[in-house]
Structure 1
Amino acid sequence: MAQIRKILKDYEELSPMMLGEPIIDQELFSELTRQTSVYPPLIFSFILIVFLFQTRSLKGSLLSLIIPVMASITIMAIHFSLGNFLNILTAMTISYLMIIGSAYGLHFYNGVQFYENVEIAAKRKFIPIMFSMLTTVAGFTSFIFLDIRAFKELGILVSSGLALVFVMVFTFMRETVSVSSKKPRSLGVVYLGGKFAKAILFFMIVIALVSPFILRNIEIGTTGLNYFRKSSEIRKAYGILSKEFHFREPVYLVLEKEKPFTALDNKKLAEIMKNIEKIEGVSKVSFPVDIPIPLMRILVKNQPFLRFFIKGKALRMIINLTPEGVAKAEEIKEDISKILAKYEYNYTIAGTIFVWVKINSEILSSQIKSLFIALLLIFAIVLAIFRRLIISLTTEISTSIITSMLMGNFINMTVLHINLEISTSIITSMLMGLVIDYSIHIASEIKRTKSAKAAVEKLVPPFWETLLV
């Protein structure tokens, strides 16, 4: 690719563009590189600034961040040592651990400053932070039960990473943190009273009831091109090919037979091509059917372009789909199978479009399945914490309401025309983990102090920081 780009630089006046699977793979690899080497330092810097403002302690802020970074490095090292690879989801592990895991260190540090004693803070904060970790892990653990492997790997990496962060907070950080003369800022948090809380709850219930009806307005699914900006060279090149050359992502039909292909097969191939082109959604089928197959085997030695259509005992046809055809690729695949059933050929219908169709078809079911499993796991953990059904149900209901309201960001996604796909579907589990985290901390503090006002004014400042991050 680099050599081709070097040659094209001599013809910049022609505005040359490159497009193809190798180019897309190269750009995706560049994006993975950015997710693992560029974004984490930026996220680290932003979180450090926010934490530093609230804690007024460089040591406390750095400790809260260094721990999830160390956990990320450890978890990813184990992941790669087991022969696994980096993908578009697992590349986000480092960012997730920094964003979520840093909150554990922040809660512990603020506890140390509040109680002015490391051991008392460790005793008081151990249970709330542990169960916050477990409930957040429950949200990501639900990915393990899904069919998409990338989701499974992300769930395992983030869950094990958060568990490691928790252990390091109460071992490494416990031994290094100390009481500071500068107390953390309260950020001007004021408890607005029960009436305001009830009004917010009522508003959330209304939104939660409305949001599922908005689901039908959300576009489900994506393609490989959607991961690139509209201003990117790949999107521009694809736009030109589509508009000027009526290019569509091709589907490949590979034909094989037990005996060698003969010139008599050309007639059958012509029939197959003619019938496939009659299918609604197919624009054209390409194959040099005018060249007898035995002759093609000879010519392929001097005509490299023929290698695209014949290799060994296999023949390959190119089936171009219309925009409408791309949308119903699975139906077209079934129609092609019906046509080929009349012939003695073994066949394979392949194309990247079918990979995306498979992924897109599983996104919504995976979203619902992971949500249901996560809610069950979280309820079991919350019940184990408080050992009271009413408190557990209250905490679970708050999680369910907010998760329902923001599941897939229904409203925002509808307004902003954002598709429900792999990356956006992760939001649900993240929200559940964060919401239940807040609920457990507040419920535990109210149970201890018998005062909602004291609990809110003490705990909300670090919550605001987590939300900002």
Structure 2
Amino acid sequence: MLKWLNTSFWDYIASKILRNRIFLLVLVLLFTLFMAFQWKNIRFTFTEANLLPDDHEVNIQYNSFLDKFGEEGNLIVLGFKDEKFFTEKNIRAWEKFVSNIRKDKAVELTISIEDLKVLSKDTLAQKFKLVPFINNDSISDAYLKQKEAEFFTDLPFYEGMLFNKKSGAVRFAIYLDKKIVNTKARKEFIEKYLSAEKINAFEQETNLDLRVSGMPYIRTLNANSITEEIGLFVGAALGITSLLFFFFFRSIRATLISMSVVIIGVMWSFGTLGLLNYEITVLTAIIPPLIIVIGIPNCIFLINKYQSEIRNHGNKAKSLQRVIAKVGNSTLMTNLTTAAGFGTFIFTDSKLLKEFGVVASLNIVFLFFLCLIIIPIAYSYMPLPKEKHLAHLGKNYMASFLNWIENTVKNRRVTIFAFVISLLVLGVIGITKIKVSGSIIEDMPKKAAFFEDIVFYEQEFDGVMPLEIVVDTKRPKGALKAATLLKIEELQETIEEIPELSKPVSIVNVVKYSKQAFYNGNPDFYELPTKQEEVFILSYIKNSVQKGNENMLKSYVDSTGQYARITTFMRDIGTDKMEKIELRLQDKIDHIFPKERYEVTLTGKAYVFEKGTHYLIGNLVQSLLFAILLIALLMAYLFRSFKMIIVSLIPNLLPLIMTAGLMGYFGIPIKPSTILVFSIAFGISVDDTIHFLAKYRQELIANNWKIKRSVYATLKEAGISMFYTSVVLFFGFSVFTLSSFGGTVALGGLVATTLLFAMLSNLILLPALLLALEKTIANKEEFIEPKIDILAQGKDEEKSNKK
């Protein structure tokens, strides 16, 4: 039965494909149209990548925070560092710019210079009230000069929030409706009011340098950049692979056939995203160009085999039948191993990775069927290739390259093994130098204008990434107790000592500001009330809240008064620094807040992302080990020899160690983008091993189990295709280095480097290992007949071998 699967099955498939050409082409066309209709469901994600599973403790704490205080990432900041701002002309222009924004239903609150409110004491009602900082009817250059001085000296509550006292930088706030922050409406708002055209027009009118930032703005422009790069990657991948393909084959029709296959594959990949209702994320966005890069090697193996058959006997029908029957199994197996490399992501607990793994692995399998159907059928309608189209099979540069490899393997095996051991040692040393890093904005395009604004706010206001601390007092109204306020103030003093964090804001700041207002706005009294003052000042606060000014407290204390919130912002720092800050804060929290009376948790987008990075690394190490195990089992099923499993894994693990070592030496950290390299590269690089060993086994049988002759024959036969595919993969993945995103650049460069190492490893180390083990694997017992014969022999070859 299994032998029938090895030979007759693929002969049967070949006959079915070639006899039902029209039907299969129509089927491909109809399925392509179906997938194209699914594009209408494609949408870009409007949230940050959450790398943690929904039921993870950190996610549960973050969602609990959102339930109490609402979406934290709804703040957009606009600012300047220019003393010309406080002039009548520019204030009027600024008010005109902000007025339309303020009226939009998507805006919850604005804090601008003209709607800025300050606390004032109402002695008769014994409450605080909010009064405008600026009287619009009194605006003049002289009046604004006076107000500018008051702004920087009399409002310590707003220091760090709205101004930097040392540098003179100012910023104002737009708080979006929390319901639209993670929807398409956020993008529409940004494009309507804060587009590059609107900002440029304001800057030309005022001669001010307007800086815009905040998570809604950053996420929108970052998403636009990713969307634009999908087209860049697809175009670049098509361009470079088609040029390389034509350079190797010197055939326009072979190039066009291959491009048609991968273009249809790209259409199917977009359709899969729409069909499964997945969002386009920073990961799924790279799948279409990946399909091009991975699809071209399939085309190379199939077309190369077809042309080799034509050169051998010139019979088109027999050549096409053999392309399917002899290369079908090997192409299927190599696509399955590549799909397995991506498919391991499905077994992680990260939704982001699962979706990436599902779409990538499905479409790699789709590619196999596309190549197996379209390439033989297309050639069946075309005339035989001309001699110039077959000339590449005997190119001098290829012959020289393969001769060099053969001589190296034959005469320098000791040197090869010594060199490999040296690389292995250096790689392991490099691995010990690798650092872990994780930041939401770390991989964003550094040359983009919005990234320059991020840097501006880091320098002037210590960052835009929110970090939240929630204090649970375990009793209603406990957040306003004097003891709690003192503890929060002590924690805030520690936060202010950390240069990577901004000045924190909490209920403590509100209470301090209330005391200042109680003493008629004197900034010298911006401090917590004494015990004697508490009765008067806290009663003023309570009266203010009861009279409808709930906004005074709701951003800092939940509706029950049990939970208090401390908000700070963080610079773009690596995970290692973040961990040190976390430990420092936790030590202070443990010291200040007794656990039997308080429960204090760190949360916020920055914190969740940092924890997600560590969780992802753990998951992907497991997925890589799973990929190795899965592919080892596949090798066992194919070759039925334990020694051959070891021999096949070593040349593919070495490049991974070398690449990891380079990351350590060159300071490339492990982060969500770079950790993907290893599973992807391993799944692809093992394809060459399968092709080599499959051809090697066939040569062993043909050469009566003579190891040396079989190894050198395999090098000459399989080496060309392995070289072609590796070059295409190297340059194909290199197109990702065109990205403006650091993570995508690192992913492309590292995968390309790993695959280049893998090609040399499979062409040099693998045959050297086979020759070194000649005495131990030179018998048929080590090559039990495989369950599936990857390179099934045709009937003519079987007769030849019997003779």
After superposition, the Cα gap between the structure-2 partners of 1:126 and 1:295, relative to the gap in structure 1 and judged at 3 Å, is farther
Q: Which residue number corresponds to residue 139 of structure 2?
A: none
Task: Choose from 294, 307, 326 the match for 2:542.
Answer: 294
Q: Which residue number corresponds to residue 313 of structure 2?
A: none
| Number of residues of Structure 1 aligned to a counterpart in Structure 2 | 465
Q: Which residue number corresponds to residue 227 of structure 1?
A: 443
| Superimposed CA distance per residue, residues 205-243 of structure 1 (whole angstroms, 9 cap, x where no aligned partner) | 321232122123222123122112333333322333333
Q: Within the alignment, does 1:372 sit opposite 2:625 as a pair?
A: yes
1:310-349 equivalent positions in 2, closer than 5 A = 312-313=559-560, 315-320=564-569, 326-332=578-584, 334-335=586-587, 338=590, 339-341=592-594, 349=602
Deviation at 1:161, TM superposition (A): 0.8
Q: Contact 1:254–1:349 (CA<8 Å) still a contact in 2?
A: yes
Q: Contact 2:214–2:464 (CA<8 Å) still a contact in 1?
A: no
Deviation at 1:66, TM superposition (A): 2.9
1:50-449 equivalent positions in 2, closer than 5 A = 50-116=244-310, 117-178=319-380, 179-181=384-386, 182-183=389-390, 185-186=392-393, 188-190=397-399, 191=402, 192-194=404-406, 196-197=408-409, 198=413, 199-200=415-416, 202-247=418-463, 249-254=465-470, 261=477, 264-265=480-481, 268-278=484-494, 281=498, 284-287=503-506, 288-290=510-512, 291=514, 292=538, 294-295=542-543, 297=545, 301=549, 308-309=555-556, 312-313=559-560, 315-320=564-569, 326-332=578-584, 334-335=586-587, 338=590, 339-341=592-594, 349-407=602-660, 410-411=661-662, 413-449=663-699
Structure 1 vs Structure 2 CA RMSD: 3.1
Give 2:305's aligned amino acid.
Answer: G
Q: Which has the larger radius of gyration?
A: 2
| Superimposed CA distance per residue, residues 352-390 of structure 1 (whole angstroms, 9 cap, x where no aligned partner) | 221221122134423432221111111111222222333
Give 1:443's aligned amino acid.
Answer: L
| Superimposed CA distance per residue, residues 104-125 of structure 1 (whole angstroms, 9 cap, x where no aligned partner) | 1221111111112111111111
Structure 2 CA distance for aligned equivalents of residues 216 and 234 of structure 1: 35
Deviation at 1:147, TM superposition (A): 3.2
Structure 1: gaps (5+ residues): none
Structure 2 CA distance for aligned equivalents of residues 213 and 84 of structure 1: 40
Give 1:180's aligned amino acid.
Answer: P
Deviation at 1:163, TM superposition (A): 0.7
Give 2:648's aligned amino acid.
Answer: T
Deviation at 1:23, TM superposition (A): 1.8
| Superimposed CA distance per residue, residues 297-334 of structure 1 (whole angstroms, 9 cap, x where no aligned partner) | 358759x7866435644653213568696343442564
After superposition, the Cα gap between the structure-2 partners of 1:227 and 1:320, relative to the gap in structure 1 and judged at 3 Å, is closer
| Superimposed CA distance per residue, residues 71-124 of structure 1 (whole angstroms, 9 cap, x where no aligned partner) | 343344333333322211111111211111221122111111111211111111
Task: Choose from 446, 449, 454 the match for 2:716.
Answer: 454
Q: Contact 1:379–1:396 (CA<8 Å) still a contact in 2?
A: yes
Give 1:238's aligned amino acid.
Answer: I
Structure 1 CA distance for aligned equivalents of residues 717 and 215 of structure 2: 55
Higher relative contact order (CA 8 A, sep 6+): 1
Structure 1 CA distance for aligned equivalents of residues 255 and 664 of structure 2: 37
Structure 1 CA distance for aligned equivalents of residues 239 and 552 of structure 2: 52
After superposition, the Cα gap between the structure-2 partners of 1:262 and 1:208, relative to the gap in structure 1 and judged at 3 Å, is closer
For the residue of structure 1 that corresponds to 2:398, the secondary structure is: coil
Structure 2 CA distance for aligned equivalents of residues 32 and 238 of structure 1: 18
Structure 1 CA distance for aligned equivalents of residues 484 and 286 of structure 2: 50
After superposition, the Cα gap between the structure-2 partners of 1:162 and 1:233, relative to the gap in structure 1 and judged at 3 Å, is same
After superposition, the Cα gap between the structure-2 partners of 1:467 and 1:264, relative to the gap in structure 1 and judged at 3 Å, is closer
Structure 2 CA distance for aligned equivalents of residues 467 and 240 of structure 1: 38
Q: Contact 1:266–1:289 (CA<8 Å) still a contact in 2?
A: no
Q: Within the alignment, does 1:9 sit opposite 2:179 as a pair?
A: no
- Compute the TM-score of the two structures, normalised by the length of structure 1: 0.87
| Superimposed CA distance per residue, residues 250-282 of structure 1 (whole angstroms, 9 cap, x where no aligned partner) | 322345678763895365234323235336746
After superposition, the Cα gap between the structure-2 partners of 1:121 and 1:312, relative to the gap in structure 1 and judged at 3 Å, is same
Give 2:542's aligned amino acid.
Answer: P
Structure 2 CA distance for aligned equivalents of residues 376 and 180 of structure 1: 42
For the residue of structure 1 that corresponds to 2:211, the secondary structure is: coil
After alignment, is 273-282 or 365-374 more displaced?
Answer: 273-282
Structure 1 CA distance for aligned equivalents of residues 485 and 472 of structure 2: 12
Q: Contact 2:226–2:282 (CA<8 Å) still a contact in 1?
A: yes
After alignment, is 193-202 or 446-455 more displaced?
Answer: 193-202
For the residue of structure 1 that corresponds to 2:441, the secondary structure is: helix
Q: Contact 1:296–1:306 (CA<8 Å) still a contact in 2?
A: no
Structure 1 CA distance for aligned equivalents of residues 676 and 277 of structure 2: 25
Structure 1 stretches of 4+ with a deviation exceeding 6 A read 256-259, 322-325
Q: Contact 1:135–1:437 (CA<8 Å) still a contact in 2?
A: yes
After superposition, the Cα gap between the structure-2 partners of 1:232 and 1:201, relative to the gap in structure 1 and judged at 3 Å, is farther
Deviation at 1:51, TM superposition (A): 1.0
Q: Contact 1:300–1:306 (CA<8 Å) still a contact in 2?
A: no
Q: Contact 1:325–1:332 (CA<8 Å) still a contact in 2?
A: no
Q: Which residue number corresponds to residue 466 of structure 1?
A: 729
Q: Which residue number corresponds to residue 527 of structure 2?
A: none
Q: Contact 1:64–1:103 (CA<8 Å) still a contact in 2?
A: no
For the residue of structure 1 that corresponds to 2:504, the secondary structure is: strand
Q: Contact 2:464–2:569 (CA<8 Å) still a contact in 1?
A: yes
Structure 2 CA distance for aligned equivalents of residues 237 and 460 of structure 1: 47
Structure 2: gaps (5+ residues): 1-189, 311-318, 515-537, 700-709, 733-803
After superposition, the Cα gap between the structure-2 partners of 1:360 and 1:171, relative to the gap in structure 1 and judged at 3 Å, is same
After alignment, is 89-98 or 173-182 more displaced?
Answer: 173-182
Q: Contact 1:64–1:102 (CA<8 Å) still a contact in 2?
A: yes
Deviation at 1:337, TM superposition (A): 5.6
Structure 1 CA distance for aligned equivalents of residues 678 and 353 of structure 2: 13
Structure 2 CA distance for aligned equivalents of residues 230 and 78 of structure 1: 32
For the residue of structure 2 that corresponds to 1:423, the secondary structure is: coil
Deviation at 1:435, TM superposition (A): 2.0
Structure 2 CA distance for aligned equivalents of residues 357 and 105 of structure 1: 41
After superposition, the Cα gap between the structure-2 partners of 1:126 and 1:247, relative to the gap in structure 1 and judged at 3 Å, is closer
For the residue of structure 2 that corresponds to 1:224, the secondary structure is: coil
Q: Contact 1:442–1:459 (CA<8 Å) still a contact in 2?
A: no
- Compute the TM-score of the two structures, normalised by the length of structure 2: 0.53
Structure 1 CA distance for aligned equivalents of residues 448 and 548 of structure 2: 36
Q: Contact 1:89–1:154 (CA<8 Å) still a contact in 2?
A: yes
After alignment, is 114-123 or 457-466 more displaced?
Answer: 457-466
After alignment, is 310-319 or 364-373 more displaced?
Answer: 310-319
